Amino acid sequence: MDALNRAHVRWAMPLSVAVTALALWHPPRLEAQLVLTLLSGLLLGAPHGLTDILHLPRLGGMLPGALAKRWPSLTGMALYVMGAGLFLWTWSLWPVANLCLFLLVSAWHFGGQDVKAYGGALRYPRMTGLSRGLGLVGMLILPHPETSTYFNQMTNTQAFHSPEHAPWLAGALALLWLGSALATRHRLFMLETALLAMFIYVLPPLIGFTLYFCTWHAPRHLMEYGEYIIIHAYVTFLSYLTFFTIILYLVFSIFWTASLSLPLSQVEALDTLWFFFRVLAALTMVHVMVAIMEEKRT
């Protein structure tokens, strides 16, 4: 994994720099940012999330009864969908609490995945992963007042406000983030962390997150399972990937066609897009829970 991770970092770094320069030279409008984030989430998020199908039999087998024993994959899929549905339902009841929980869980997942890509080469992996994830999520929030607006739109509340000294807090967080990377004494990881801190600070938050997810997180997750999928489960994986990609494409196409043909206001269109983000958040929560289950098992 170390050689594969080095190869990944070597192409991800110049790509991140190029995208950052392009976005700063010609900043996209909010609507374009939302569509770009959703499309990239569908194109890379679908195969990235579909690695969970490898764990469905074990997930379904955790339940008692003949049905779980006979069709563990089907039972696991039912549990997966029910988990996402439960998160969406609780979001309607406690949107602020659910969003905060989602951010904390995402921070843990992103940081842990980035550290895991380096195997045992990093010192203090748990501390480094935690600071990496919190730094990533914090830098998407603190330097960008618009993030609070997005959170309020996602939750239909006015609960989120940009702190008065947000730039100073962001600077302190960046120093903590970089300090934890220096403590690893791993030059490639330090360089990667400095680059991530830079582009997440200067880019609009939606573009910064999209760049991180598509260039760093999703490829690493796919590389982790790539060898197993190719050897043992490529037919199953490609079948699921084809099916869900078609479904996701149809759903997005219907939404896109409706948004062009119906007299939707900008607010209504954004509300619809934020709903898709809530669905992605629900799927992400279940995805992370499956990752936690597998980590405890191993």
How far apart, in Å, do the first and last CA atoms of the chain sit? 17
Query: For residue 71, what are the contacts with CB-CB under 8 A and spacing of at least 6?
Result: 60
SS3 content of the chain, % helix, strand, coil (to 5): 85, 0, 15
CA distance 45 to 213: 9
Closest listed residue to residue 20, CA positions, set 202, 179, 282: 202
- The Cβ of residue 226 has, within 10 Å, a number of other Cβ atoms equal to 15
Domain count, the chain: 1
Write down the pLDDT at residue 90. 92
Axis crossing angle, helix 30-49 with helix 234-261, rounded to the nearest 10: 160
Q: What is the pLDDT along the chain (298 residues), one digit of tens a residue?
A: 567 778 878 888 888 888 888 888 888 777 677 777 777 766 777 677 777 777 777 776 666 666 556 667 777 778 888 888 899 899 989 999 999 999 998 898 888 888 888 877 787 888 888 888 888 888 888 888 888 888 888 888 888 887 777 777 777 777 887 888 888 878 888 888 888 888 888 888 888 888 898 888 888 877 776 655 555 555 555 665 666 666 666 666 665 565 555 554 555 556 666 777 788 788 888 888 877 776 666 5
Task: Provide the token pair at 95.
Answer: 């949107």
Which single residue is written with the structure tokens 């069709």?
71
Which residue range is the domain that position 242 belongs to?
2-297
Write down the pLDDT at residue 254. 60
Any idea what DSSP says for residue 263?
-
Closest listed residue to residue 155, CA positions, set 274, 37, 264: 274
pTM of the model: 0.81
Phi, psi for residue 8 in degrees, rounded to 5: -65, -45
Phi, psi for residue 142 in degrees, rounded to 5: -65, -45
Write down the pLDDT at residue 242. 63
**Do residues 32 and 270 touch, judged by C-beta distance below 8 A?**
no
Write down the pLDDT at residue 213. 87
Task: Provide the token pair at 140.
Answer: 């998407």
Which one-letter amino acid corresponds to residue 117? A
Angle at 107 between CA 39 and CA 16, to 5 degrees: 50
**Do residues 91 and 98 touch, judged by C-beta distance below 8 A?**
yes
Which single residue is written with the structure tokens 């807090």?
169
Write down the pLDDT at residue 98. 92
CA distance 151 to 126: 28
- Based on its alpha-carbon atoms, the radius of gyration of the chain, rounded to whole angstroms, reads 20
CA distance 62 to 217: 28
